[in-house]
Structure 1
Amino acid sequence: MDFQNSSYIIMGGTSGMGLAAAVALQNQGAKVLVVGRDDESFGEAKRKLGASALALGGDATHPETIDQAIQMAHQEFGTITGLFHVAGGSGRKYGDGPLHELTLDGWNKTFEINLTAMMLSNRAMVNYFLEHKQPGMILNMGSVLGFSPSPKYFVTHAYAAAKSAVVGFSKSIASYYASHSICVNVIAPSLFETPMARRAMENEQIQHFLKSKQPLDGGRPGRSEDILNAVLMFLAPDSNFITGQVLAIDGGWSISEGQYQ
């Protein structure tokens, strides 16, 4: 995979899986601009990426954030090869949960942070590629919960619906823009060591459940580095014959029954 003379925007790229992807792309020779909402994560991002990377603070649910990111990246790098949209999160604190307890605010906010934000970044990048008459790579972050639910420990129905919609949205735009050589794909992780997963990571019963639910490599939570080979494959400029695909990076989650104590 050749990343020389390539550049990428990573929405949600100042921490966790997004930051790991930014480092991996940079190590391959790509230029990166990372966008994050949490000011506390910027110090670590700048330390790991160095002065050659760009960092922008902003909320992915606001259209001006991706517009500013594109303007900055194009001005600094000359062109933009692709987008990795990682930004999203749990809506549990807003009222997401099982349907009989799900609030309208929880539903709307969960869709806003996981689907509307993605639509905004994807729309802006597609417009950029069309305007400049160039091919492009878009990779969206889904979740295994969008197609492989877990009814006891991971009951957030709005989140599952939003991540399922990520798949439908990505496949639909992949189909429409294929003739423009714009590739759109999805990775769908299971339970990973992220800030969003802190509740699960601190729960002894869930950790026991993981031993049989995602049994690869000893039955552990995923780590950011577990997604990197897939991210590099989907974002590489020479992966221009792959589009509309969904890859689960789940330690076996979607093919395992999972045992309760």
Structure 2
Amino acid sequence: MDFTNTSYIIMGGTSGMGLAAALALQKHGANLVVVGRDDESMPLAKQKLGTIAVVLAGDATDPVTIEKAILQAHDKFGSITGLFHVAGGSGRKFGDGPLHEMTLDGWNKTFEINLTGMMLSNQAMVRYFLQQKKSGMILNMGSVLGFSPSSKYFVTHAYAAAKSAVIGFSKSIASYYASNNICVNVIAPSLFETPMAQRAMEDQHIKHFLKSKQPLDGGRPGRPVDIVNAVLMLLAPDSNFITGQVLAVDGGWAISEGQYQ
């Protein structure tokens, strides 16, 4: 895949799967504007990506953040090829959980960080493509929990609803903007080694569960690098005949039963 003379914005690209994708795109010749929260991940991202990439601090749920990213990407690189929206996270600390225990704040906050932020970046990116009269690629981060629930260990109903909505939203805009040659797809990972998954990764029962729930490669959690090939394929300009699709990168999660101790 040739990413020479391409440029991408990655929302949530300073750590985990977003950073892995950024490094892979950069290795293949892409220019990058990477946006992440102003936390301990920022210096490491700047170090790994170097000065050739633009690394910005910002909140994806603030519409100013994506506007700033688009402005900087266009000014520095002349045009923008695509967007990878990774930013999101668990709403458990806000009150997400089983429906009978969930708080309204947990529901609202979970949708804000997983759906509203994505809508804002997609909206701004589509407006850019239309204004520039050019084709473009958009890839959104979903989750297998949006269509393949796990009722014992992963009970966050607002998160599942939000990630399911990511799929519906992405398919809907993919359909509407297909005639403008704007491709919109979703990648849906299972349990990966990310900061959000720290609770699960420290639970021995969940580790045992994964052996049969996502059995590929010994039944391990995913690693950020595991999404790289899927991301490269769906963001490549040559993939301009693929839209409205959901690709699970899940180690077999969605097709496996999973056994409890």
Per the shorter chain, which TM-score range?
over 0.9
Q: Which runs of 4+ in 1 moved over 4 A?
A: none
Q: CA deviation at 1:38?
A: 3.4
Q: Does 1:25 align with 2:14?
A: no
* Residue equivalent to 2:189: 189
Q: Does 1:247 align with 2:235?
A: no
Q: Does 1:112 align with 2:112?
A: yes
Structure 1 runs not aligned, ≥5 long: none
Q: CA deviation at 1:174?
A: 0.1
Q: Does 1:200 align with 2:200?
A: yes
* Residue equivalent to 1:89: 89
CA distance in 1 between counterparts of 2:172 and 2:2 reads: 28
Q: TM-score, normalised by structure 1?
A: 1.00
Equivalent residue letter for 1:106: G
Equivalent residue letter for 1:125: M
Q: CA deviation at 1:47?
A: 1.0
CA distance in 2 between counterparts of 1:59 and 1:46 reads: 17
> What is the CA deviation profile of residues 130-150 of structure 1, one whole-angstrom value per residue up to 9, with x for unaligned ones?
000000000000000000000
Q: How does 1:169-248 map to 2 (within 5 A)?
A: 169-248=169-248
Q: CA deviation at 1:99?
A: 0.2
Q: CA deviation at 1:2?
A: 1.5
> What is the CA deviation profile of residues 75-97 of structure 1, one whole-angstrom value per residue up to 9, with x for unaligned ones?
00110000000000000000000
Q: CA deviation at 1:39?
A: 2.4
3-state SS of the aligned residue for 1:61? coil
* Residue equivalent to 1:61: 61
> What is the CA deviation profile of residues 8-65 of structure 1, one whole-angstrom value per residue up to 9, with x for unaligned ones?
0000000010001000000000001100013211111011111100011000000000
> What is the CA deviation profile of residues 208-234 of structure 1, one whole-angstrom value per residue up to 9, with x for unaligned ones?
000000000000000001000000000
Q: TM-score, normalised by structure 2?
A: 1.00
Corresponding residue pairs, total:
261
Equivalent residue letter for 1:144: V
3-state SS of the aligned residue for 2:40? helix
* Residue equivalent to 2:101: 101
> What is the CA deviation profile of residues 128-177 of structure 1, one whole-angstrom value per residue up to 9, with x for unaligned ones?
00000000000000000000000000000000000000000000000000
CA distance in 2 between counterparts of 1:16 and 1:143 reads: 15
3-state SS of the aligned residue for 1:243? coil
Structure 2 runs not aligned, ≥5 long: none
- Percent identical residues: 81
